[in-house]
């Protein structure tokens, strides 16, 4: 079997050249990082869970007409995705005051926001992914005004979908981040959801207890991260509930 060519390795994923032109194989690692990788740990099974959960969310979005780069899952840790030209922004949608928003504005964590707030962060680990405005985005040519309108529309549709899905299993979608990429059909450009959607990129709280079921478990040393992600997968039906008896998450391919 030919050795695959690695395109990029990030904190949580490795990207390889895909089997066909215009495709990429996305490999989910077990690495957990926080505070711009200052805190790091390998958590067995995390990559498997994120692969399955991201597949679940992306497939659901495709089904309701929100375009994503997801094509199919290949195995326990890999999925085939469409190659895209990533816009160098992280798009964050917030429904509840938490994390950096609560700190910046002196708000009590957990306070409901009057409406979803969309924020933008420039993707650059060396700079700590600084927050930017639409003025910065336009001035530096990262996206046009038409692109920004499409990005906001995509982000809010993802928010509606995820919020309803999570509410149905007793989870509050506090906030999440997505990345968006450009694809071209001839001269026509489209924007689609890329990267991943998983508990790594969302804040998820149990509606009744406030229990955290996302990467804050790792950031704040609140317990076992794989257990939290497993609970999300079980509630959504991605993973059988009897698997809770196992010491480590093992999903059937």
Q: pLDDT digits over 210-227, tens only?
A: 999 999 999 999 999 999
pLDDT of residue 243: 52
pLDDT tens-digit series, residues 146-177: 999 999 999 999 999 999 999 999 999 999 99
> For the whole model, what pTM was predicted?
0.92
Residue 246: pLDDT band by 50, 70, 90 thresholds?
very low
Could you tell me the sign of the dihedral formed by the alpha carbons of 17, 19, 21, 24, in that order? Answer: negative
Which of 96, 36, 99, 239 has its CA nearest to residue 248? 239
pLDDT over 70, % of the chain: 94
Select from 104, 56, 94, 98 the least CA-distant residue to 210: 98
Q: Tokens 């076992």 sit at which residue? A: 224
pLDDT per residue as tens digits for the range 10-44? 999 999 999 999 999 999 999 999 887 788 999 99
Helix/strand/coil percent split, the chain, to 5: 30, 35, 35
Is pLDDT of 252 > 70?
no
Mean pLDDT of 84-92: 98
């Amino acid at each position: 079997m030919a050795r695959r060519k690695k395109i990029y390795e990030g904190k949580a994923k490795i990207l390889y050249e895909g089997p066909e032109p215009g495709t990429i194989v996305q490999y989910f690692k077990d690495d957990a990082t926080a505070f711009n990788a200052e805190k790091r740990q390998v958590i067995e099974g995390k990559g498997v869970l994120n692969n399955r959960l991201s597949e679940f969310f992306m497939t659901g979005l495709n089904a309701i007409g929100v375009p994503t780069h997801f094509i199919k899952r290949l195995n326990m840790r890999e999925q085939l995705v469409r190659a895209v030209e990533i816009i160098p922004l992280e798009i964050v949608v917030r429904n509840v005051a938490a994390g950096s928003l609560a700190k910046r504005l002196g708000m009590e964590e957990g306070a409901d926001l009057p409406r979803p707030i969309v924020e933008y962060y420039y993707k650059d680990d060396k700079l700590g992914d600084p927050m930017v405005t639409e003025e910065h985005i336009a001035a530096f040519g990262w996206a046009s005004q038409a692109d920004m309108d499409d990005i906001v529309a995509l982000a809010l549709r993802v928010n509606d979908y995820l919020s309803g899905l999570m509410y149905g299993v007793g989870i509050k979608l506090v906030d999440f981040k997505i990345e968006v990429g450009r694809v071209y059909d001839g001269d026509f450009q489209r924007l689609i959801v890329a990267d991943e959607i998983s508990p790594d990129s969302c804040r998820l709280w149990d509606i009744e207890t406030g229990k955290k079921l996302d990467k804050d478990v790792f950031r704040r040393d609140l317990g076992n991260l794989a257990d939290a992600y497993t609970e999300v997968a079980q509630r959504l039906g991605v993973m059988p509930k009897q698997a809770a008896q196992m010491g480590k998450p093992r999903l059937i391919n």
